[in-house]
Amino acid sequence: MRNSNEIIDDIANKEYEFGFTTDIEMDIAPAGLNEEIIRFISAKKEEPEWLLEWRLKGYQAFKKMQLPSWQHFPMPAIDFQAVSYYAAPKKKKQLASLDEVDPELLATFEKLGIPLNEQKALSGVAVDAVFDSVSVATTFKGKLKEMGVIFCSFGEAVREHPDLVKKYLGSVVPHSDNIFAALNAAVFSDGSFVYIPKGVRCPMELSTYFRINAQNTGQFERTLIIADDNSYVSYLEGCTAPMRDENQLHAAVVELVALDHAEIKYSTVQNWYPGDKDGKGGIYNFVTKRGICKGNSSKISWTQVETGSAITWKYPSVILQGDDAQGEFYSVAVVRNKQIADTGTKIYHLGRNTRSRIISKGISAGQGDNTYRGLVQVGPRAHNARNFTQCDSLLIGNRCGAHTFPYIESRNKSATVEHEATTSKIGEDQIFYLNQRGIDTEKAVALIVNGYAKEVLNQLPMEFAVEAQKLLSITLEGSVG
Amino acid sequence: MTHDITIPFYQYILEGGNGLTPKEDVLYATRQDALARFRSLGLPDLKTEAWRYTNIQRTLKEQPFILQQQPLPVTASQVAPAAIADLPCYRAVLVNGHLQPELSDLPEIKDITISKLSEASQQAGFKAHFDKHPHLADQPFAALNTALFADGLYIELKKNAILDKPLHIVHVYTLSQHAFLQPRHLFIVHPHASGAIIESSVGLHDGVVAFVNSVSEVILEENAELWHYNLQNTVQDSRHVTHTAILQQAYSRYHHHNFALPQANLIRNNLSVALKGSYTETDLHGLTLVTEQQHVDNHTFVDHLVPHCNSNELYKGVLLDNANSVFTGRIHVHQDAQKTNAFQQNNNLLLSEKANINSQPQLEIYADDVKCSHGFTVGQFSEESLFYLRSRGIGQEAAKTLLVNAFAFDITDQVHIPALQHYLTEEILRYVTRN
């Protein structure tokens, strides 16, 4: 079977056979980024005129922008013209049983403790009658619908709820925010849309895993979550299972809007392909995530566990616009081999009595480079604003790096901002203590690291937290000794 | 080297600044190199990461500066206000960067050299260390200083020399029109030598503005020790960009105490320490007490290149009125620098609605067996402390003054010269009560 790259190459080398603007039947667009491609994507998705215009505005902004140079890692060369910006969702090859799955993948599933049926679903094995994911999902969908919760793909939302999408799309991350957000605005493939109506507490954790039309939405996802007055939602993104993906550049955008007294909890576990030992290959995870606490007493909480990707470069942010609003950021980032993470958060205190809390735990092993970069800004109106930031770094081995670059800007005398950072390694005495009690060094490290990251892992929904703990141990396997 | 140039400074910079260095100058090649470096670096703007909170170009454009001015006559009585009461010390008076022996009281100790920098160019110490500090290479203002400095102070403490009393360096600025001054200093402390330096300034330039771009290189050889106090006060209508670059060899100890006090409109301190030898100790202490429209930007960098070094940094800020304070503290621990202990702390009290604080404590660490931390706080007095004092019959204002003093105590307490400590405590009190 030919892989998709060969197909892309073939198409790219082909003579311009059919004017692709009219050829709606085509599955993969030729590589390259231009206005025609954007019109093509928009037409293919049967989008309304206003959305196409918005995409084109994003493209115009993209054309004017340069790649940033302030990041703490050498920027890989990205050829935006070599990427194909549209591919119809691919059907994965259905396997008959788990015996056909890569044994290495199965071993990882085993360690993560993923239930057998989920394992099958994740690795593309046809699901048997006992565990019918579709029926589970359908039950969930019914329940959500009853409560008025909208949870669907972005494309569907554009068709069914254009007013909501039109009102909030780009209101938190504008089309010209940064070069990757602009690119996403121009070519975004699909994504999720969530709307929680007034006064509704979403009864379950929403996760793309249970979204019926959760297809391979690929590298330019766009997520928009709106929590109306007095509502609550917890959203999960990603999963602990290793994700193999052909696309190298991922430039997703996530926008969260919390209105009066609403709360959004957004959890991410990311375990994408990190490249091999020499840092070859691997995914560039350049995501723009931002939430706005628009209403009074609203709350947005980001939790992330980042173990994969060759380069993780993102700053999930919160704009605390309403009075008494709250923002939180909990992060664990693990790098090993030649992985790079430059991540952190930005919190803008605009309203009175706004509070924020940042807990970042970086773990560097091998030749990994881990950077926390964060901004806490207190505006002149933000009376009694309160921030607490703690970023700790753990170094395993003497060839890795751990860096902290916080920016603190305070313009209000009644605000209290605190920041503290520490860097340390795992003490030999700690390891010795555990060795003495019959725990081998590798397990001891896993134990210590999990204890170190507990404050963040505790923020994850329960089942997720258990998996994330195991994931941390697995990620660090072989990096000690 | 002291031409009066009448074209405005900014324009002069844009035009490339040729013709100031006579070919017969011994440093002609060095100055030309530095000028080329300055041109390629360019003047920093708000997009330059290290200058994002200090708009230096705007400051430079405010007045038409002339480059370098011949010192005007200065009398002993004009310098007198700089004196620190009850402090037995030697004194070196510099007028616009030029040492004035007749106003000074220099030590006559064997193995201690204090002279004009322009007279030291044949000294071995000068040849070994002048413009050699690794951190100055990419600093545009340091390059500009190297290219165009007029003169400054050269201090050399030879092996085992002990400076028995502190040396008080009084920088006097006297101008008849807006000027851009560039003093340049080189302090070398040889093995096992030690001493204390206090720098302060006097402004005699009513109605005109002094822009002072100074560079000091400080070299501490093995087991040398230096206390370095920098008092930035009493100069009105002045803007200061300073570079203090320290190089420490094994077992050396350096204590820097910086006091940015009211008066100067703009202060930008670049303090950077390169730790080249093991088992060193470095203390960087700073107090920023600013009022009115003052802008103070402390930019510090501690470069841990070798194992077993200790650095300790504590900067505190008290902000009144519309004052603006910036703190950037960078600690870089290289891969070889195992067993490093590096600590950094920046605490601030915002006492006015319109004051501004920006802080960037940075850790960059490539070694695993190290202990590093940084901390930052900004806030108010705690209501409890205020209440405690008031409940004991202390008035609101007096209680606040007491609390500011207590806040500053961590820094003033580190001053190891009692008379200087007393002087500084009084100064702080004076500024706080005035508000």
User: Model confidence over A406-462: pLDDT tens digits?
Assistant: 999 999 888 999 998 888 888 888 889 999 999 988 888 888 888 888 888 888 887
Q: Is B107 on the interface with A (CB under 8 A)?
A: no
Q: A471 in a domain, yes or no? A: no
- Whether residue A416 contacts residue A435, with contact meaning beta carbons closer than 8 Å, is answered with no
A337 and A207 inside one domain:
yes
pLDDT of residue A93: 53
The angle that helices B396-412 and B418-434 make with each other, rounded to 10 degrees, is 150
Pairing verdict, β B179-181 and B167-174: unpaired
Best probe of the B interface among A408, A416, A422, A445, by most B CBs < 10 A, is A408
Rounded to the nearest 10 degrees, how much is the dihedral formed by the CA atoms of B382, B384, B386, B390? 180
Residue of B108, B130, B128, B106 lying closest to B118 (CA atoms): B130
Residues A144 and A249 in one domain: yes
- pLDDT band of B381, cuts 50, 70, 90: confident
Per-residue model confidence as pLDDT tens digits over B37-87: 888 888 888 888 889 898 888 888 777 777 766 777 888 888 888 888 899
For A347, residues 6+ apart whose C-beta sits below 8 A from its C-beta are: A317, A318, A320, A327, A329, A356, A358, A374, A375, A376, A377, A387
For residue B12, what pLDDT is reported?
A: 64
Q: Tell me which H or E stretch contains B341.
A: strand B341-350
Handedness of CA B413, B419, B422, B423 (dihedral sign): negative
Count, residues in chain A: 481
Residues of A in contact with B374 (CB under 8 A): 404, 419-421
Taking an 8 Å cut-off on Cβ atoms, the answer to whether A416 and B356 are in contact is no
Q: What is the pLDDT of residue B413?
A: 92
| pLDDT one-digit tens code per residue, A137-181 | 556 777 888 889 988 888 888 988 999 999 999 999 998 889 999
Decide if B374 and A420 are in contact by the 8 Å CB cutoff: yes
The answer to whether residues A145 and A284 belong to one domain is: yes
What is the distance of C-alpha A182 from the center of its chain? 17
Residue A15: per-residue pLDDT: 36
**Which residues on chain A are in Cβ contact (under 8 Å) with B336?**
none
The residue of chain B nearest to residue A374, with distances taken between CA atoms, is: B360
Q: Is residue A461 part of a domain?
A: no
Contact call for residues B329 and B313 (beta carbons, < 8 A): yes
Same domain, A196 and A263: yes
B3 pLDDT exceeds 60? no
Q: Is A371 inside a domain boundary?
A: yes
Are residue A28 and residue A112 in the same domain, yes or no?
no
> What is the phi-psi region of residue A183: left when phi exceeds 0, alpha when psi lies from -120 to 50, beta otherwise?
alpha
Find chain B residues with C-beta within 8 A of A423's C-beta.
363, 365, 370-373
Same domain, A164 and A49: no
Domain end among A48, A82, A116: A82
Residues 26-85 of B with CB under 8 A from A: 49
> Are A350 and A270 within one domain?
yes
Whether A38 and A178 share a structural domain? no
A118 and A33 share one domain: no
Provide, as residue numbers in chain A, all residues whose Cβ is less than 8 Å from the Cβ of B335: 398-399
Q: Which of A427, A446, A473 is the last residue of a domain?
A: A427
What is the model's pLDDT at position A91? 47
Q: What is the pLDDT of residue A80?
A: 83
Measured between beta carbons, which residues in chain B are less than 8 angstroms from residue A396? 368
Q: Is the pLDDT of residue B422 over 90?
A: yes
* Interval B117-149: pLDDT, tens: 989 888 899 999 999 999 998 999 999 899 888
Q: Which residue of chain B has the CA closest to A400?
A: B366
Among B370, B374, B379, beta carbon nearest to A404: B374
Number of domains comprising chain A: 2
Tokens 């790219």, located at residue? A12
From A424, which residue of chain B is nearest by alpha-carbon distance? B371
pLDDT at A302: 94
Question: Phi-psi category of B160—alpha, beta or left, where left has phi over 0 and alpha has psi -120 to 50?
Answer: left
- Of all residues in chain B, the percent with pLDDT exceeding 70 is 94
The model's confidence at residue B8, banded by pLDDT at 50, 70 and 90, is low
The whole domain housing A190 covers 100-427
- Asked if the Cβ–Cβ distance from A393 to B365 is below 8 Å, we say yes
Quote the pLDDT of residue A435.
93
A381, A408: one domain = yes
Question: How far apart (Å, rounded) are the C-alpha atoms in residues B387 and B382?
Answer: 9
Residues A411, B365: C-beta atoms closer than 8 Å: no
> How far apart are the CA of B378 and the nearest CA of chain A, in angstroms?
5
A321 touches A287 (CB < 8 A): no
CA nearest B374 in A: which residue? A421
| Residue spans of chain A under pLDDT 50 | 1-2, 4, 7-26, 90-92, 124-135, 210-217, 481
A408:B359 CB<8 A:
yes
Q: Which residue(s) pair with B169 in the sheet?
A: B92, B199
**CB-based contact A119:A98 (threshold 8 Å):** yes
User: pLDDT tens-digit profile of B298-355?
Assistant: 999 999 999 999 999 999 999 988 899 999 999 999 999 999 999 999 999 988 888 8
Among B355, B360, B375, whose Cβ lies nearest the Cβ of A413? B355
How high is the mean pLDDT of chain B?
88
What sign does the CA torsion over B47, B48, B54, B60 have? negative
Q: State how far the Cα of B354 lies from the Cα of A74, in Å rounded to an integer.
A: 39
- Give the best residue of B363, B369, B382 to mutate against chain A (max A CB count within 10 A): B363
Q: Are residues A127 and A211 in the same domain?
A: yes
Name the minimum distance, in Å, from the CA of A417 to any CA of chain B: 5
CB pairs under 8 A between A and B: 110
State the nearest Cα–Cα gap between A473 and chain B, in angstroms. 20
* ipTM for the predicted complex: 0.83
Q: Is residue A89 part of a domain?
A: no
Task: Report domain extents, chain B.
Answer: 71-383, 384-435
Alpha-carbon gap, residue B26 to B126, rounded angstroms: 12
CA distance B334 to B134: 15
List of chain A residues whose C-beta atoms are within 8 Å of the C-beta of residue B361 = 404, 406, 419, 421
Q: Are B272 and B245 in contact (CB under 8 A)?
A: yes
- For residue B369, list chain A residues with Cβ-Cβ distance below 8 A: 398, 425
Nearest CB to A415 within list B364, B370, B378: B378
Length of chain B: 435
Which of A410, A427, A444 terminates a domain? The answer is: A427
Based on the domain organization, do A270 and A179 belong to the same domain?
yes
What residues in B contact A411, CB-CB < 8 Å?
A: 356
Helices of type H across B285-358: none
- Residue A243: predicted pLDDT: 57
| Chain A residues close to B49, C-beta within 8 Å | 70
User: Can you give the pTM of this predicted structure?
Assistant: 0.84
Check residue A327 and give its pLDDT. Answer: 95
Contacts of A394 (CB under 8 A, 6+ apart): A361, A362, A363, A364, A402, A423, A424, A425, A426, A449, A452
